[in-house]
């Protein structure tokens, strides 16, 4: 170590270089480059030869250090996750060898920017660590190869949704996330104090989107929604990214109606993802992924009850499911996975759906509502037409025991030019679970600890 402290590296400033990101390296073979990044892996072959797998957030590059470049005090004490500045010439790998991108950086100078603690992050995280530890250290988990792929796929998925809506003429809006009204039921609200008045974190931006339809027409948002349920299932989180849209002057199941638009959304976004830079990542993460084909299977709630009864699928008390009962996650997944195709499960009884859903004209017991079910995941979309008759809406409030006072602005929509309209909400993390073939929604989440609803 004392000898190593005497070794000083010098950068020849007369040599030209290009500063690049790792994702662009294929265009710079044979040139001298400068790259900033983090030491992902570190391996010493001998006193005179070492390898650094460098990560700059866009991709990886293998760097080869020889002689005194790997004999300095900084190198001997450097840990994985240290940040460095590195110079070298990019060359194709030798025949029979392999490296990310098919090339490697022959280093002529490098500089330590910040040294990570001994052991890097492997003393905190490893493939066998408890899921609770991984959740508490999500900010470090992101640095791994698999987790970083998820972040990149998520980036392209958000763009694909925005491109879809833009090409279809929708207007993006940014609704408030602190609200004074419930959308899905008071028991799932996170309550907070808003300057002395009660307020809540939003469960959905749907009601706000309905208010802007008369101003901008078809509209959408991609914002956070919150559900205060201590559910520990593989597909629930307390905070999630909610892709929501509202469309005026549409029907439920007519041409270009709500069901058609949901099919178009899912298929088009999948096609965009496969054609994007995320395509190779998705093929790597989920080799079995194929773009869904239209039309999706359409199954009514009544048909679903009949299917479960014919399959002799029973509740915990041993009885069969009856009309009017909510179908929970497990039987719903059993049905979806058995049929093994995307199902547009529609027309639920009014008693088990929200106050704003209108009844079907052909069966007053049922609502114009739909859940999109995908094998391996379950429900990824919930949608419906919205009650647009004022008198019918007020009956909905009364039936649910809701005080309409704080909904005055929503009621106004039924006074000033009401019209048939519908919309939906899609859980981005569930959609990611489907695309990437993951088995648990926690693998798609970004944040530590407060994703606690998805703890196993």
Q: Which of 119-133, 149-163, 405-419 has the lowest mean pLDDT?
A: 119-133
Please check the confidence at residue 456 and state whether its pLDDT lies above 60. no
- The reply to whether 31 and 156 lie within a common domain is no
Q: Is residue 119 part of a domain?
A: no
**Dist. CA 187–CA 111, nearest whole Å:** 55
pLDDT at 454: 41
Residue 437's CB is within 10 A of a number of other CB atoms, namely: 15
Q: Which residue has the higher pLDDT, 13 or 36?
A: 36
Banded pLDDT at 123 (limits 50, 70, 90): low
Same domain, 109 and 137: no
Specify the 3-state DSSP secondary structure of 107. strand
Judged on CB neighbours under 10 Å (0-12, 13-18, 19+), 221 is buried
User: Residue 29, CB half-sphere, CA atoms under 13 Å: how many?
Assistant: 8
Average pLDDT, the chain: 92
Whether residues 376 and 412 fall in one domain: yes
Q: In the predicted model, is pLDDT for residue 292 greater than 70?
A: yes
Same domain for 343 and 288 = yes
Which pLDDT does position 432 carry in this prediction? 95
Query: Does 451 score more than 50 pLDDT?
Result: no
Where does the pLDDT of residue 185 fall: very low under 50, low under 70, confident under 90, or very high at 90 and above? low
Cβ neighbors of 394 (< 8 A, separation 6 or more) are 404, 411
234-248, 285-299, 328-342: least confidently modelled range: 234-248
Domain that holds residue 307: 133-454
Q: What is the pLDDT of residue 439?
A: 75
What does the pLDDT read at residue 66?
97
Give the pLDDT band of residue 76 (cuts 50, 70, 90).
very high
User: Is there a single domain that holds both residue 337 and residue 226?
Assistant: yes
When mean pLDDT is compared across 24-33, 38-47, 134-143, 203-212, the lowest value belongs to 134-143
Q: According to the model, what pLDDT value does residue 132 have?
A: 74
Is 121 part of a structural domain of the chain?
Answer: no
Residue 272 has pLDDT above 60, yes or no: yes
How confident is residue 9, by pLDDT bands cut at 50, 70 and 90? Answer: very high
Please give the pLDDT value at position 135: 76
Please indicate, yes or no, whether residues 295 and 182 belong to a single structural domain of this protein.
Answer: yes
Give the CB-side neighbour count of residue 359, counting CA atoms within 13 A.
13
338-363 pLDDT, tens per residue? 999 999 999 999 999 998 999 999 99
Based on the fold, state whether residues 176 and 204 are members of the same structural domain.
yes
- List Cα–Cα distances, 293 to 266, 288, 330, 426, in angstroms: 10, 15, 25, 19
In a domain, 123, yes or no: no
CA distance 64 to 189: 55
Q: What is the mean pLDDT of residues 78-106?
A: 95
Neighbours of 362 (CB within 10 A): 7
**Residue 120 falls within a domain, yes or no?**
no
Q: What is the CATH number of the domain that holds 63?
A: 2.40.50.140
Query: How far is CA 272 from each of CA 211, 216, 244, rounded to the nearest angstrom?
Result: 30, 25, 19
Q: Can you read off the two tokens belonging to residue 128?
A: 């066998």
Residues 401 and 261 in one domain: yes
My answer on whether 83 and 26 are in the same domain is yes
| Confidence band of 141 (pLDDT split at 50, 70, 90) | confident
**Is 122 part of a structural domain of the chain?**
no
The pTM score is: 0.91
Specify if 38 maps to a domain: yes
CA distance 252 to 95: 60
pLDDT exceeds 90 at position 453: no
């Amino acid at each position: 170590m004392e000898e190593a402290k005497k070794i000083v590296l010098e950068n020849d400033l007369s040599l030209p270089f290009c500063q690049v990101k790792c994702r662009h390296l294929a265009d710079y073979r044979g040139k001298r480059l400068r790259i900033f990044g983090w030491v992902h892996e570190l391996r010493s072959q001998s006193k005179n030869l070492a390898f650094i797998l460098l990560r700059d957030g866009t991709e990886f590059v293998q760097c080869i250090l020889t002689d005194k470049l790997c004999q300095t005090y900084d190198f001997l004490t450097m840990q994985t996750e240290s940040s460095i500045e590195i110079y070298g010439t990019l060359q194709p790998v030798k025949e029979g060898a392999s490296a990310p991108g098919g090339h490697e950086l022959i280093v002529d100078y490098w500089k330590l920017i910040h040294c990570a603690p001994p052991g890097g992050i492997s003393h905190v995280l490893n493939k066998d660590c408890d899921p609770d530890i991984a959740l508490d250290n999500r900010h470090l988990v992101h640095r791994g190869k698999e987790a970083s792929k998820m972040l990149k796929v998520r980036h392209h998925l958000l763009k694909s949704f925005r491109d879809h809506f833009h090409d279809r003429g929708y207007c993006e809006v940014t609704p408030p996330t602190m609200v004074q009204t419930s959308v899905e039921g008071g028991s799932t609200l996170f309550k907070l104090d808003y300057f002395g008045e009660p307020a809540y974190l939003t469960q959905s931006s749907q009601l706000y989107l309905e208010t802007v339809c008369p101003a901008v027409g078809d509209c959408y948002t991609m914002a956070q929604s919150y559900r205060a349920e201590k559910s520990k299932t593989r597909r629930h989180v307390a905070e999630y990214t909610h892709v929501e849209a509202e469309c005026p002057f549409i029907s439920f199941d007519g041409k270009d109606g709500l069901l058609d638009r949901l099919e178009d959304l899912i298929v088009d976004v999948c096609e965009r993802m496969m054609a994007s830079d995320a395509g190779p990542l998705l093929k790597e993460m989920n080799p079995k992924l194929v773009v869904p084909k239209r039309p999706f299977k359409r199954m009514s709630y009544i048909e679903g009850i009949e299917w479960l009864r014919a399959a002799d699928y029973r509740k915990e008390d041993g009885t069969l499911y009856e009309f009017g009962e909510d179908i929970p996650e497990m039987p719903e997944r059993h049905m979806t996975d058995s049929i093994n195709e995307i199902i547009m499960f529609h027309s639920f009884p009014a008693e088990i759906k929200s106050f704003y859903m209108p009844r079907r004209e052909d069966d007053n017991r049922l609502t114009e509502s739909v859940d999109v079910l995908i094998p391996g995941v379950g429900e990824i979309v919930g949608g419906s037409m919205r009650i647009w008759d004022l008198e019918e809406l007020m009956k909905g409030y009364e039936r649910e025991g809701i005080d309409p006072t704080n909904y005055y602005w929503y009621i106004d929509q039924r006074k000033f030019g009401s019209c048939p309209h519908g919309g939906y909400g899609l859980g981005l993390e569930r959609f990611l679970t489907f695309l990437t073939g993951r088995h648990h929604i926690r693998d798609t989440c970004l944040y530590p600890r407060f994703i606690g609803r998805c703890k196993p």
